[in-house]
Amino acid sequence: MARHGRAGVALTAAAIGSFFAGTVATFLLALFAPPLTEIALKFGPADYFSLMILGLIASVVLAQGSLLHAIGMVVLGLLLGLIGTDVPSGTQRFTFDIPELVDITNLMPTKDDWKRMVAPILRGPAIGSALGHPARERLDPRLVRGLLHREEGLEAPGGSSAGPSAPACSPCPCSRCAAC
């Protein structure tokens, strides 16, 4: 549709379809939650292990690109998951007496981080929905710079808590942000 000049209709159809699918999935989950809960409460250690293996295999199978890279990312994720405090026993694993590794919940955004992230998180989908994907190619670079630097202290996507939801500034020569 987009190639035939009907990009707005295509975006509308995708948005309505996504909303409908999410709504149906939510209702189905709510419908089947009681019987699934009864089954899940009967799970033992072998069942949990089987579910974990199924998830890891699904991650490798569903990954696009190199099979070796997919397996490497799964193994890296497992290794990173070993670092920190064991929840059931409270034992520290692979922390090497580094305080930052004991409790990795400090990776969660603070209240101040959330305040800084709200505008870019809401602005990104609004621009993308209004202009299509990729919006950055259709926007005037001056507008992108203006949106990016509207809030004082907001850096480019590589160095800010706004992350990938912040507008990119690849052609930005302003020297105010890290990615320029």
Q: Is the pLDDT of residue 108 over 80?
A: no
The number of folded domains in the chain is 2
Query: Is the pTM value of this prediction over 0.75?
Result: no
Residue 29 and residue 46: Cα distance in Å, rounded?
25
Residues 6+ apart with CB under 8 A from 101: 83, 84, 94, 95
pLDDT at position 123, please?
74
72-98, pLDDT tens digit by residue? 989 998 888 888 888 788 888 888 888
122, 87: one domain: no
Name the residue type at position 23: T
Residue 20 and residue 17: Cα distance in Å, rounded?
5
Look at residue 27 and tell me if it is in a domain: no
Look at residue 33 and tell me if it is in a domain: no
Structural domain of 123: 111-165
8 Å CB contact between 170 and 144: no
Higher pLDDT, 82 or 5: 82
